[in-house]
Structure 1
């Protein structure tokens, strides 16, 4: 009888612990989404400020028509223009203030590969991307 009560209490606590773990996983995913949204806003702010600085000096150049519409591509190209040197996906994650985790580097790498396929960037060696020289 006493062991039955202990078993029932253990089962109830185990169920509650599993629900709590699931809730923590949901909250962790939501926190990750919020952090990513904040990062995107910071990057957008940087991009807009750099574009505003460029407007006062000269007429801004229109982005090539082949650039995908997503703002991340413009941010990537802005970083390439600012650095003027070949970069790896990891370097871009750092420049974009993204955490250096495989999800982010693979996401950036796929965007870089898409830009290479459209002729906007070149891959000078495996994993190293640059703007083509005029």
Structure 2
């Protein structure tokens, strides 16, 4: 009988050792997965930021008065550049301009226009978590927080009002100004 128990104990020890090895591999894989997720999130944020900057630059290019180039060589060089119309030394970029009479939503990047459209169509004040699915984003905490920061930016620049914390409505200044002009 003793040899059967010894054999079972030896097999149990081997199984325990294998479980420990697999747990160590799993911990290493989980760490690698987390690092890969963080890298993916950084790339997503970078892509979205570049898209916003490029949208702002193209909006500025369509509203800015055209200047005569210094020479035809400079004009040809700029036209062939993938960054044609972009200044080479951008010190600061204002993605969302301050609202002023005559400035339409077409001056805003696409995502901001979508947000304003959702709020304009809403029957009352709207929260960020209600807007996110309506603009085609997944309702994750990161997307909601990103949208909330965009909403706050729209409030700061006069496009929206936030009468109560977290509740956003179209700006009364805009609606009053536009209703007076009609």
Q: Is the structural similarity TM-score above 0.5?
A: yes
Structure 2 residue 126 is the aligned partner of structure 1 residue 89: no
Do the aligned residues in 1 keep the contact of 2:132 with 2:139 (CA within 8 Å)?
A: no
Indicate which of 3, 8, 16 corresponds to 2:13. Answer: 8
Is contact 1:89–1:109 with CA below 8 Å preserved after alignment? yes
TM-score (norm 1): 0.61
C-alpha spacing 1:38/1:102, structure 2 compared with 1 (3 Å): same
Write out aligned runs for 1:83-122 (5 A).
Answer: 84-85=116-117, 86=119, 88-91=131-134, 94=137, 100=138, 102-108=140-146, 111=149, 115=152, 119-120=155-156, 121-122=160-161
* Residue 101 of structure 1, CA deviation: 5.2
Distance 1:27 1:20, change over 3 A: same
CA contact (8 A) 1:89 1:127 kept: no
Equivalents in 2 of 1:23, 1:43: separation in Å?
Answer: 31
Aligned residues: 115
Larger radius of gyration: 2
CA change 1:112–1:49 in 2 (3 A) is: closer
Unaligned 5+ segments in structure 1 are 66-76, 95-99
Tell me if the contact between 2:161 and 2:171 (Cα under 8 Å) persists in the aligned partners.
yes
Q: How do 1:40-55 and structure 2 match up within 5 A?
A: 40-55=45-60
Correspondence 1:27 to 2:32: yes
Q: Deviations over 1:32-56 (max 9, x none)?
A: 1111111112112211211221121
Q: Point out where structure 2 has 5 or more consecutive residues left out of the alignment.
A: 1-5, 65-92, 99-107, 120-127, 175-182
The alignment yields a C-alpha RMSD, in angstroms, of: 3.7
